Amino acid sequence: MTTSLLQPGDIEAAAGAIPELRLPPGDLFLARARRLEQLADGHTLGDYLRFVAALARAQHERLAAGQVPQLPGAERLAQCREYQMPPLAPAGLAHPPAWRGMAREFAREMQSSLPEAGRAAMRKVASADDAWLDEQATRLLEGDYRDLDPAAAPVIGAALQVQWTKLARQLAPAQVARPEHPNLCPVCGSHPVSSVVRIGGAENGLRYLHCALCGSEWHVVRAKCSNCDNTRGIAYYHLEGGDSVVRAESCPECQTYLKVIQQDKNPQVEPVADDLATLALDLLMDQQGFGRSGVNWYLIQGTP
């Protein structure tokens, strides 16, 4: 089902009152795990949602423990802000070495919650050398899924997410400029998973895109394509019989879509969890001829 939208200026707060950037909170992964556990009950993908919930809980434990990776220097941060560059872009940042050991730990811990095929993939990660892990991480970070092992991607991505979330949490919003390309995270330059319309306080009714890597969120006006900035012909799709908590915002210009998750319809929604639990909507959008502009690292299809 499709619904036309209002114009962008009709539904946004006054420009000076908008919190442009939401850096990741300390309970980012815990909130994700709880929502996944809630969504798993009675879901056709319940086993996989519970697996990702267990992985998110492991991420939460690591976020508060271990060495905190070092931010770029003050001069580099100032330069990035001046030229509207993401200060934590992977291409310009040495990868924190602790991520490899974390990926292996995740793989060992997750084996018991998977069938044999999944356990084999986890054993491969747990015993992998640094070169293979680095190659897989580079493909994931660059969005180049050729020769990416899709079964290994969730735990490799989970380790990278923890490290970049640790980095992002050390920043202050004032250190990050508005992005030159609004479809990419202003903190690390990664693509969003989905968008969420927040409730409460100064953020009430505002839409934020949620980063697939560092978990930061940045404001993008509603009724506007988050991929190409087009404002004409934007439409929402949702599944018949659903509660419209998650809808797909489609653009006729670039032929892409990004899910919009409505916190006002359910305060417990979580951008990554609710995206993962609505794969049927992705199938609908594919049938309608739209390509996904976001990416969910917990479920990536590799290409030969």
The CATH number covering residue 122 comes to: 3.90.1670.10
Q: Are residues 55 and 81 in the same domain?
A: yes
Residue 140 near residue 156, CB atoms below 8 Å? yes
Task: Please give the structure tokens belonging to residue 163.
Answer: 């490290």
| Angstrom distance (rounded) from CA 228 to CA 276 | 24
Q: What are phi and psi for residue 235, nearest 5 degrees?
A: -140, 155
Q: What is the pLDDT of residue 303?
A: 42
Amino acid at 44: T
Task: Please give the structure tokens belonging to residue 214.
Answer: 């560092």
Q: What is the pLDDT of residue 223?
A: 86
Q: Are residues 82 and 143 in the same domain?
A: yes
| Angstrom distance (rounded) from CA 116 to CA 119 | 5
Q: Are residues 94 and 219 in the same domain?
A: no
Q: Are residues 205 and 145 in the same domain?
A: no
Q: What is the pLDDT of residue 18?
A: 85
3-state class of 252 per DSSP? Answer: coil
| Angstrom distance (rounded) from CA 220 to CA 200 | 17
Torsion angle defined by CA atoms of residues 135, 136, 141 and 145, in that order, rounded to the nearest 10 degrees: 110
Kindly list the distances between the CA atom of residue 137 and the CA atoms of 91, 148, 149, 152, 159, in Å, as whole numbers in the listed order: 12, 9, 10, 10, 10
Last residue of one domain, picked from the residues 119, 140, 168? 168
Q: Are residues 142 and 246 in the same domain?
A: no
| Angstrom distance (rounded) from CA 211 to CA 190 | 6
pTM (predicted TM-score): 0.92
Q: Residue 88: CA atoms inside 13 Å, Cβ hemisphere, count?
A: 31
Q: What is the pLDDT of residue 181?
A: 80
Q: What is the pLDDT of residue 93?
A: 86
Last residue of one domain, picked from the residues 121, 146, 168? 168
Q: Which residues pair with 250 in a beta bridge?
A: 235, 257
Q: Are residues 185 and 212 in the same domain?
A: yes
Q: Are residues 17 and 59 in the same domain?
A: no
Q: What is the pLDDT of residue 97?
A: 80
3-state class of 152 per DSSP? Answer: coil
Residue 92 structural domain: 28-168
Residue 304 lies in a domain: no
Strands 246-250 and 256-262, how do they pair? antiparallel
Below-70 pLDDT ranges, the chain: 1-16, 301-304
Residue 297 lies in a domain: no
Residue 298 lies in a domain: no
Closest residue by Cα to residue 133 from 105, 111, 114? 105
| Angstrom distance (rounded) from CA 176 to CA 171 | 8
Domain count, the chain: 2
Q: Are residues 246 and 204 in the same domain?
A: yes
Last residue of one domain, picked from the residues 116, 143, 168? 168
Q: Are residues 193 and 209 in the same domain?
A: yes
Q: DSSP for 70-107, please give it.
A: PPPPHHHHHHHHHTT--TT-GGGSPPPTHHHHHHHHHH
Task: Please give the structure tokens belonging to residue 303.
Answer: 């290409």
| Angstrom distance (rounded) from CA 97 to CA 49 | 29
